[in-house]
């Protein structure tokens, strides 16, 4: 079993892996709750964005619509069929081994079409150091990308305060807060998440439409639904950055 093998890595590689693990654990402790509601959307979007061979493109809007409302738009269906699942970066704080080393042992069959190709070849030849280095680098890039997303979402929510015309104690602001966590919603969502009755939902939705915070994307008289384009744009930006080898390219 790979997990039972003795691993002798250079001190520098171990130090980098340990630092990556600490950074991921620090993010989870400080900011993890802010992006936890997007876990499914982010994982699927990032996986599709990384599938350069398939040249598939997922939009956060379609994925979020499917997650929130059970719809299956064409973009969502075509994207999901092409998904290449990426190893989720979870549990770093619960395992004493460096994040890069732990990920290597759990996922020895990294897709060779990805940037890990040469490092994976070395790994299969008995030298795990390059793949540990690549995974450590990927963890740091993921941390940077996650922080970029959180910062962007906070900025969006702050800007909405100057756009929304409503009393400070109005439930309109509670709906706006919800949009940062769930940018696609309907009246049933507000009842389930905020306790707002479906009969009163439009009282709190209409001011957000007027402010340009949300738009309706259904053309039905019933079962109407809305989305927050700025939040979905931030999620698409996250997926696009995640699909690059570095955040600067």
Residue 117 pLDDT greater than 50, yes or no: yes
**Domains defined for the chain, CATH in brackets:** 152-231 (1.10.10.10)
Phi-psi region of 196 (alpha: psi -120 to 50; beta: other; left: phi over 0): beta
**Whole-number Å distance between alpha carbons of 218 and 43:** 26
Could you tell me which residues are beta bridge partners of residue 226?
Answer: 185, 216
Q: What is the pLDDT of residues 160-205, one digit of tens each?
A: 999 999 999 999 999 999 999 999 999 999 999 999 999 999 999 9
Burial degree of 133 (CB within 10 A; 0-12, 13-18, 19+): buried
Mind giving me the DSSP string for 150-188?
HHHHHHHHHHHHHH--S-TTSHHHHHHHHHHH-SEEEHH
pTM for the complete prediction?
0.71
Q: What is the pLDDT of residues 80-114, one digit of tens each?
A: 344 333 444 433 434 444 544 454 444 444 444 45
pLDDT value for 44: 64
Residue 130 near residue 100 (C-beta atoms within 8 A): no
**Lowest mean per-residue pLDDT among 120-124, 152-156, 190-194:** 120-124
**Whole-number Å distance between alpha carbons of 171 and 176:** 9
The alpha carbon of residue 74 and the mean position of all alpha carbons in its chain are separated, in whole angstroms, by: 21
Residue 246 pLDDT greater than 90, yes or no: no
**Whole-number Å distance between alpha carbons of 59 and 85:** 16
Give the confidence band of 74 by pLDDT, cuts at 50, 70, 90.
very low
Q: What is the pLDDT of residues 14-55, one digit of tens each?
A: 999 999 999 989 988 888 888 887 776 666 666 655 554 444
User: Average per-residue pLDDT in the chain?
Assistant: 77
Give the confidence band of 220 by pLDDT, cuts at 50, 70, 90.
low
Residue 219 pLDDT greater than 50, yes or no: yes
The position carrying tokens 């691993």 is 7
SS (H, E, C) 40-62: HHHHHHHHHHCCCCCCCCCCHHH
pLDDT value for 126: 83
What's the rounded mean pLDDT across residues 135-156? Answer: 92
Higher per-residue pLDDT: 81 or 151: 151
pLDDT value for 51: 55
pLDDT value for 109: 42
Could you tell me which residues are beta bridge partners of residue 225?
Answer: 186
Residue 13 pLDDT greater than 80, yes or no: yes
Report the length, in residues, of the chain. Answer: 249
What's the rounded mean pLDDT across residues 143-163? Answer: 94
pLDDT value for 81: 40
The position carrying tokens 């939009």 is 59
Sheet with 225-227: strands ordered across: 184-186, 225-227, 215-216
């Amino acid at each position: 079993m790979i997990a039972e093998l003795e691993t002798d890595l250079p001190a520098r590689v171990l130090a980098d892996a340990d630092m990556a693990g600490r950074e991921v654990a620090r993010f989870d402790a400080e900011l993890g709750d802010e992006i936890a509601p997007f876990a499914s959307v982010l994982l699927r979007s990032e996986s599709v964005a990384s599938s350069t061979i398939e040249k598939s493109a997922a939009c956060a809007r379609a994925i979020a619509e499917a997650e929130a409302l059970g719809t299956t738009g064409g973009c969502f269906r075509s994207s999901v069929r092409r998904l290449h699942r990426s190893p989720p970066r979870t549990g770093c704080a619960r395992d004493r081994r460096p994040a890069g080393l732990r990920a290597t042992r759990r996922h020895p069959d990294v897709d060779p079409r990805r940037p890990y190709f040469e490092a994976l070849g070395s790994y299969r030849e008995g030298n795990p150091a390059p793949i540990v280095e690549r995974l450590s680098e990927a963890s740091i890039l993921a941390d940077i990308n996650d922080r970029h997303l959180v910062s962007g979402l906070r900025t969006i929510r702050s800007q909405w305060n100057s756009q929304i015309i409503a009393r400070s104690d109005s439930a309109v602001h509670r709906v706006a807060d919800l949009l940062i966590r769930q940018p696609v919603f309907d009246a049933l969502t507000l009842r389930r998440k905020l306790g707002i009755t479906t009969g009163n939902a439009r009282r709190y939705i209409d001011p957000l439409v007027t402010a340009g915070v949300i738009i309706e994307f259904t053309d039905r008289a019933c079962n109407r639904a809305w989305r927050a384009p700025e939040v979905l744009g931030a999620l698409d930006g996250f997926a696009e950055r995640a699909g690059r080898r570095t955040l600067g390219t």
